């Protein structure tokens, strides 16, 4: 027996060439939705259209345009949409976001056990350093694992992450990994380091556990001396 419930359909309209923080905007938005737990999303590419500039754009084998219209579409609860909307507006830039009330029908699910939210931690200089050791050839859903982890961390609003490539080392298999000239080897070790509050890293650990099938994850206590950044320039359309 199906039951119905109210939801919101979100359609995000941008140009294919639009960027957000150096990456294709539609790809960044899709990664954000995936790692923030949206149940499903679809990216559609138009073959012709025009936008606010009133210039007609069309795709052909001769003239491949990066101005083609793109649409990212997903359906979620109003509560989830309210949680994500501000960040989606920032990522869409000058694009348009359409919200449409809809009704979804699905089979009833057994109620899940409610988990208590993690306790709030007051941080005054104290934080955690997480280091993740994996292999360069490791993948997750057709992406290099270290790139997928970086996207997941950004989607979860972690303070920042740095990826290092090892030049020599060995792991649990006792096999020596050594960097070769011209970087012909894809067997080097990779280390990701991220510093944030204990609360945020503990919340992110289940994601790491799901994505890292073989590797090492360690947490260390650190003191934050300074965390600042320059004013960000506008790099999305």
Residue pLDDT, tens place only, 101-123 = 988 876 666 566 655 555 443 44
Assigned CATH for 126-223: 3.30.70.120
Question: Percent of the chain at pLDDT above 70?
Answer: 70
pLDDT band at 33 (very low <50, low <70, confident <90, very high): very high
pLDDT, residue 194, reads 93
Backbone angles phi, psi at 56, to 5 degrees: -80, 130
Report how far residue 135's alpha carbon sits from residue 165's, in angstroms, rounded to the nearest whole number: 9
Residue pLDDT, tens place only, 178-187 = 655 545 455 6
* Boundaries of every domain in the chain: 3-106, 126-223
Assigned CATH for 3-106: 3.30.70.120
Report how far residue 236's alpha carbon sits from residue 47's, in angstroms, rounded to the nearest whole number: 22
3-106 and 126-223 share one CATH topology?
Answer: yes
Residue pLDDT, tens place only, 44-69 = 887 765 655 555 555 554 445 556 78
């Amino acid at each position: 027996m199906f039951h119905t419930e109210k939801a919101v359909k979100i359609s995000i309209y941008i140009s294919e060439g639009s960027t957000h923080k150096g990456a294709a905007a539609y790809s960044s938005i899709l990664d954000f939705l995936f790692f923030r737990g949206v149940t499903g999303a679809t990216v559609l590419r138009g073959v012709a259209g025009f936008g606010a500039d009133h210039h007609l754009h069309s795709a052909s084998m001769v003239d491949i345009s990066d101005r083609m219209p793109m649409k990212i579409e997903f359906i979620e609860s109003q509560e989830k949409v309210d949680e994500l909307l501000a960040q989606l507006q920032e990522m869409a830039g000058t694009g348009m976001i359409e919200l449409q009330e809809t009704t979804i029908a699905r089979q009833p699910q057994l109620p899940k056990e409610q988990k208590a939210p993690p306790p709030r931690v007051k941080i005054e200089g104290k934080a955690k350093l997480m280091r993740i050791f994996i292999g360069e050839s490791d993948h997750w859903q057709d992406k290099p694992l270290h790139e997928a982890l970086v996207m997941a961390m950004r989607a979860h609003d972690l303070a920042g992450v740095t990826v290092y490539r090892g030049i020599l080392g060995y792991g649990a298999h006792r096999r020596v990994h050594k960097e070769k000239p011209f970087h012909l080897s894809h067997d080097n070790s990779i280390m990701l380091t991220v510093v944030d509050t204990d609360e945020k890293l503990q919340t992110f650990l289940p994601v790491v556990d799901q994505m890292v099938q073989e590797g090492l994850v360690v947490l260390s206590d650190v003191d934050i001396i300074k965390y600042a950044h320059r004013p960000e320039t506008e790099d999305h359309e």
